[in-house]
A = this chain, B = another copy of it.
């Protein structure tokens, strides 16, 4: 059994720059407020009920369950996020809160290991009876991830033991043995959690169980069909329209998939688990399916903001190239899923395009999920909004035009929190011969190479600035390879070593500097960031003839705050220079893009012949991730050219 290449979070510090600021915002604002939300203490926000449910299930208070089948998962993700935060630095108050809720979870757990407050409080007789819809194993998966994170951060086994008992129950219940249920979850998550648990405990049986869940999925006779017949439940739920069981990636075995199908978060979580298993068990033959699906996603299904899932109904993947900007669902969780899958794909194979996809998702779709002040969230992330239209069109009724403090189904807020609290896992990869840097952010990192501890400081104002400086300080001189990612958007990366320009070969998107490193060595990477006009393949019908502006990894958008309404009237001439300009006072400090363009004038008739009258207009684009932080208004990523 091999091990993941991520560094422990305690060995990675993000200290300055954009990502560090966003992470600090989560640490200082989002995490405490999410805890308030989970405790139903935010006036006006949708009620969570999470903590309440656990306390009721633990017998600590009277009351009724509140929320959805999978309500516990919000709490589990928050525990995971809070644990990652503890891994970075001690916080006794937070640790006490965690101890308290973990004690309640332990009390709530049944003697057989079962733990799910919905089924314990509402339908105790119906455990495991509706795997298709009820997300029981999904919730278990998130609890398992939380237990591992808490253990790794604190060394305490309090939650880890709870989730091992739960995982043992799952292992006894599901499988191909006599008396076992041959089922799997309608919402993937437990698979990747079990791989983590196997790695954390060294117990291969959890890997076996993860492999069982992945392998059994979509086999014939179909478990979900049999289960539905047993329930007398003949009608498929509405979100399964058109795709049926493919909504759950369960119409056919996963190895047969060549295009992503169904619910986007589920697809990405499944792909993450498949990549894990492909790495752990290369003989499983899952690697080929992973690669096919991943390249299908990158080639035909991902938004320019890095998100996936363009069908609001059922939060699903749609047809190849069907990526309308206004109806982008692009759930925050799905973009996080892209990052989770990408990270695991990178653990199988260094491939620049994979890291590019991870970075694109992070800097655009994922970060758009969180307000600048860390208090409100987007679930759905369209690339084009006209508020009045969005509010009244039925197919946009899940889109919010402004971020909100919480959701009835609040999967995204704690998912953003755990992602930003665990960025270290995504930024660095440990390799047999050294360290790989996937994402650039100012701070410090510690790792062992050739048996020697190496400390490395990273100085950069990426993604706004082009240079990243690495100051390498091994405890004693040591040979290792430092691999630096050269993003796909960068055509002329430059390197200096101790002030001297050096040529470095780039292989699959990574530059490899192998040498005997000694304290004081300094590498500077320069990634020129001209403003790029990005065009989609013309098969993306909805944005044909339009461009998106990108600089470095940042995708830009126009906002009503800078232009007034009717952004569709703005045209960026194909010959216009687009200039980048740092604006320290805007949106927490960022680089904006400006160009001389036109605004088409309103006509006196709805339809006219003759050329459209127009007047000069300055176009000003701001980072998509930061949109909707200046009040409600129109927004548009794809600009007419």
**Residues of chain A whose beta carbon lies under 8 Å from any beta carbon of chain B:** 241-243, 298-300, 302, 304, 311-314, 318-319, 321-322, 327, 384, 386, 388-389, 391-395, 397, 489, 532-542, 544-546, 548, 566-569, 571, 599-603, 605-612, 640
Contacts and interface: CB of A to CB of B under 8 A. Distances in A.
A319 B389 contact: yes
A606 B389 contact: no
6 nearest A-B residue pairs (beta carbon): A541-B568, A313-B394, A538-B569, A395-B395, A538-B600, A544-B568
B299 A605 contact: yes
A143 to B, nearest CB: 33
A393 B544 contact: no
A544 B600 contact: yes
Contacts of A489: 609
Given A538-B569, A538-B602, A304 B394 contact: no
Count the copies: 2
Given A243-B392, A319-B386, A319-B388, 4 more contacts: A318-B393, A394-B395, A538-B612, A541-B568
Nearest to A534: B607
Given A541-B386, A544-B569, A544-B640, A609 B392 contact: no
9 contacts: A242-B394, A313-B393, A314-B394, A386-B541, A535-B607, A535-B611, A538-B566, A538-B603, A545-B546
B568 A538 contact: yes
Contacts of A388: 319
A16 B608 CA distance: 31
A610 B489 CA distance: 12
A532 B393 contact: no
Contacts of A601: 538
Contacts of A319: 386, 388-389, 392
Instruction: Determine which residue in A241, A300, A537 has the highest number of CB atoms from chain B within 10 A of its CB, and name it.
Output: A537
B536 A606 contact: yes
Nearest to A391: B242
A398 to B, nearest CB: 12
Nearest to A304: B607
A490 to B, nearest CB: 11
A412 B165 CA distance: 62
Contacts of A393: 311, 313, 318, 322
A601 B537 CA distance: 8
B566 A392 contact: no
A545 B321 CA distance: 21
A551 B188 CA distance: 55
A515 to B, nearest CB: 34
Contacts of A304: 607
Nearest to A613: B538
A153 to B, nearest CB: 38
A539 B600 CA distance: 9
B606 A327 contact: no
A139 B571 CA distance: 50
A311 B544 contact: no
Given A242-B392, A569-B544, A537 B605 contact: yes
Instruction: Determine which residue in A311, A532, A599, A612 has the highest number of CB atoms from chain B within 10 A of its CB, and name it.
Output: A612
B536 A609 contact: no
B606 A537 contact: yes
B299 A535 contact: no
A537 B392 contact: no
A569 B541 CA distance: 7
